[in-house]
Copies of this chain bind each other. A is one copy, B any other.
Amino acid sequence: MKRHGSKDATVTMRDVAETSGFSPATVSIVLNNAPLARYIAPATKKRIEETAKKLGYRPNAMARFLRSNRSHSVGVMIFDISDPFCTPVLRGIENALYQCSYVPIFADAHNQRNRFERYLEMLLDRHIEALIVVANWLFVDIHLLADIGKRNIPAATIGCELPGDTVSSIVVDNEAGGRLALEHLYQLGHRKIAFIRGPKMLFDTAPRWRGIQKFANSAGFEIDPALVVQLPDSLDPNSGFENGQRCTDELLQKKKRFTALLAFDDLTAFGAIRALTKAGLKVPEQCSVIGFDDVPFSLLATPSLTTVRQPLEAMGGLAVNVIMEGVNANLEKREVSIARHRTNPELVIRESTRAVALSGADD
């Protein structure tokens, strides 16, 4: 029955056409519910649909893509999947994409620029319709801008902002977050507070610190420079833990007592907790610790971590909205300007912080 000897189990549109007795064109129209399907006789429709089902016909996506120039896929470039920050974001992206029947092509840059570029090339070759980049530092630069801009591919970054007007961005309001964190400790009565600032190269570091300073100013709280340390730059996402430990050790060695520690992020906070515990200090009894991000573990740790939550999953979804907007705009030849979303952080109070001990309120 098949013309081209049963080379494979794949049943093509022509097969459906032949066995149903109609032309491929008609089959296409019917099966896609194309506008012209309005004029197709119901009986015909039924026959075609039935034989399609009977033969188990499935459209060949590649052929369709070639023809329509739409791949129905989106590149999802993660700067490093071993950063727990990424997982909820990825989930959010995947979920939103799924709703639109788009498929994510997963790329993990391992924090390496060349890997990023290689993947970018692969993704472009595959004619992704849009690109989402999850990255909290700016190894993404000119190249991305150039290639993406030229090809008019909607792109969004999650976790950092790019200069220029070609790439949308979704970031948490770091300043508000920093503010929230310090405010919480302050309201608990803490006045001797140590700070571990983020690495210079990270996008979040500056605004987060700004928020902290602003709150301090507005509350008349003076940040003791001797109690401020900064994480070294590093590409390893899990270095936050070790460096958090080291920074805390450093803080501890100064013999300047503090009752609370504001860590740059959750990983740093875990490192701090480890160091404090090793030094014989109990969290939160003798020292409160607050993180930032609300990575999945924060809930599971004992004590569970008080932190400033980024709505990571929602941010992933938001990114998808943004790029889909772009995709549709392109389709309809509309212009669309990029979006710069700033999501609201949320203080999540758990077990690692508590009111300053009365006995410890020595000045």
Chain A positions within 8 Å of B, measured between CB atoms, are 9-10, 58-63, 65-66, 71, 73, 76, 81-82, 84, 87-88, 90-91, 94-95, 98, 101, 103-108, 110, 115, 119, 121-127, 150-152, 238, 241, 267, 270-271, 273-274, 277, 296-297, 299-304
Given contacts A82-B87, A301-B270, A58 and B124 within 8 Å (CB-CB): yes
Contacting pair A88 B94 (CB below 8 A)? no
Contacts of A10 in B (CB 8 A): 151
Contacts of A274 in B (CB 8 A): 300, 302, 304
Contacts of A267 in B (CB 8 A): 300
Contacting pair B297 A150 (CB below 8 A)? no
CA distance A140 to B2 in the complex (A): 33
Contacts of A270 in B (CB 8 A): 300-302
Distance in angstroms from A231 CB to nearest chain B CB is 15
Contacts of A297 in B (CB 8 A): 84, 297, 300-301
Contacts of A300 in B (CB 8 A): 238, 241, 267, 270-271, 274, 297, 301
CA distance A76 to B104 in the complex (A): 11
Contacts of A95 in B (CB 8 A): 108, 110
Distance in angstroms from A143 CB to nearest chain B CB is 13
Distance in angstroms from A49 CB to nearest chain B CB is 17
Partner of A87, one of B59, B61, B81: B81
Distance in angstroms from A147 CB to nearest chain B CB is 10
Contacting pair B301 A73 (CB below 8 A)? no
Residue among A87, A98, A107, A302 facing the most chain B CB atoms (10 A cut-off): A302
Contacts of A151 in B (CB 8 A): 9-10
Contacting pair A127 B81 (CB below 8 A)? no
CA distance A273 to B10 in the complex (A): 54
Contacts of A81 in B (CB 8 A): 87, 90-91, 94
Contacts of A127 in B (CB 8 A): 60-62
Starting from the known contacts A59-B125, A104-B106, A274-B304, 5 additional A-B residue pairs (CB-CB under 8 Å) come to A10-B151, A58-B121, A81-B94, A87-B87, A273-B302
Distance in angstroms from A179 CB to nearest chain B CB is 27
CA distance A91 to B273 in the complex (A): 27
Distance in angstroms from A300 CB to nearest chain B CB is 5
